[in-house]
Structures are given as structure tokens and as C-alpha cells.
């Protein structure tokens, strides 16, 4: 079965550079979530999108922005990178079902970002 | 205080032992996930549940909404079960696309 795809899998950037992470949800999934997991930390929710609209917002820095496109893939744009942005960035997807209050999230393999 | 507390933080057991990992949370939730993460690896969803009990192979997850508590059990544990097990909750809000709140994980090592 198709899973969530993230690219790139690894990314190395210098301080103050920009980075773009991509997430391709499971086919027919309409919701995408972004999470950040720092070294030795538990994942933290950043932002989510449903049907190309921002749905929920967590601890996403102002330097980061994200969007969901018409094909439901999502991109996380990170500017003015800092050393503390080094982390594993997970994307998850789900599909909203009628009458359901909650939808199981399926996670991608993550993008490991290293800021030097 | 974290909204999601897991215990134990670390657990080492012998192959074949019955494993229990506990999760307590302090907020109202719509659902709870049990996730598995291997070192340096991605996250795999094991269960999502909002009531009762679910079983998949050697894994069993239970939840008691009134007591705000969930447990993950592994029967006949095997070294390949060694991983970090994470409890994550979906807070009870009006949205259907809300982010999960994670516990800090339980590091499980199963020795041969």
C-alpha cells in the first residue's frame, strides 16, 4: 500500500539559508500535518492543512510557512535557518470521513534537517 | 507538567516476557495513538483508539476514558520489538485535523 512520501530524506543547510521540505500524502488523503522532533525530544506539532486550507496551528516559528497544493501535497518552507532548527521533520496524512470526529494519522519517514 | 505522561521511560526485558507500557493524560481527548519509532527511523502507527481494546498480532492496546489512561501490551516479546513506543493524544476540540500531543516515549529493549 502507498505510504506518505517525504523529500528530501536528508538535508544539510548553513545558518541563515532557506529550506523547503515536501510531503506527498497517501492517495485520497485530504489532510496533512507537520511535526518537528528535535534530538532526543518528543515530536511537536507545527501545522496542519485540510483541503488546502490551514486547519490547526501549533508551535510553528514565524520563520516557517507551509501550504497545501491542489494535488494535496504540502511544502514546509523554512527561512533564516538556525542551529536549533536541526531536527527530524515528520509529515502525516489522514482522510476525513463523514461523521467522524477523529482521523487516524499515518506518518512519513521524515526529513532529517541539519543546520551547520 | 506534560499533558501526556508515559511509564516507564526505559524498560529492558528478556525475550518472551510480557510487556506493559502505560500512558496517562490530563486533557479530554478524541482519540489516542500508540506509535512505534526505531532509532533514527520513522514513526509507525500501531493503534488509534478512543474506547475499549484493540489487538493486532502480539500487540494489545486498551484505553479507559474515564480514568484517562491507556496501556500497550506486547505478548511473547522479541528483540525486534526493541524500539521507542510513543503515546500521542488528539485533544478534544472541534477540529478534525488537529495535531497530536505526544508523550516522551518509552525506550524498550528486548534482550535475546
pLDDT at B97: 62
Q: How much of chain B exceeds pLDDT 70, in percent?
A: 94
Judging by beta carbons within 10 Å of its beta carbon (0-12, 13-18, 19+), is residue A67 exposed, middle or buried? middle
Which residue in chain B is spatially nearest to A30 when comparing CA positions? B97
Residue in A101, A106, A113, A114 to test binding to B, most B beta-carbons within 10 Å: A101
DSSP state of B26: S
* Mean of pLDDT over chain A: 92
pLDDT at A93: 95
Helix (H, G, I), strand (E, B) or coil at B40: coil
Confidence of residue A27 (pLDDT cuts 50, 70, 90): very high
**CB-closest option in B44, B99, B102 to A33:** B99
pLDDT at A65: 96
Measure A16 CA to nearest chain B CA, in Å. 26
Amino acid at each position: 500500500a502507498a505510504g506518505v512520501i517525504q523529500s528530501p530524506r536528508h538535508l544539510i543547510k548553513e545558518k541563515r539559508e532557506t529550506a523547503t521540505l515536501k510531503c506527498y500524502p497517501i492517495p485520497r488523503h485530504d489532510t496533512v500535518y507537520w511535526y518537528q522532533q528535535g534530538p532526543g525530544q518528543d515530536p511537536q506539532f507545527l501545522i496542519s492543512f485540510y483541503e488546502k486550507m490551514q486547519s490547526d496551528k501549533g508551535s510553528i516559528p514565524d520563520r516557517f510557512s507551509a501550504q497545501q497544493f491542489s494535488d494535496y501535497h504540502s511544502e514546509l518552507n523554512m527561512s533564516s535557518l538556525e542551529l536549533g532548527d536541526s531536527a527530524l521533520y515528520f509529515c502525516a496524512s489522514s482522510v476525513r470521513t463523514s461523521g467522524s470526529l477523529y482521523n487516524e494519522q499515518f506518518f512519513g519517514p521524515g526529513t532529517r534537517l541539519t543546520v551547520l | 507538567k506534560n499533558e501526556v505522561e508515559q511509564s516507564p521511560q526505559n524498560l529492558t526485558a528478556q525475550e518472551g516476557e510480557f510487556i506493559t507500557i502505560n500512558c496517562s493524560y490530563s486533557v479530554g481527548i478524541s482519540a489516542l495513538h500508540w506509535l512505534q519509532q526505531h532509532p533514527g527511523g520513522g514513526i509507525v502507527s500501531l493503534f488509534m483508539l478512543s474506547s475499549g481494546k484493540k489487538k493486532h498480532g502480539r500487540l494489545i492496546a486498551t484505553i479507559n476514558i474515564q480514568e484517562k489512561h491507556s496501556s500497550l501490551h506486547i505478548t511473547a516479546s522479541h528483540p525486534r520489538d526493541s524500539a521507542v513506543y510513543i503515546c500521542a493524544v488528539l485533544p478534544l476540540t472541534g477540529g478534525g485535523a488537529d495535531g497530536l500531543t505526544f508523550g516522551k516515549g518509552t525506550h524498550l529493549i528486548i534482550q535475546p
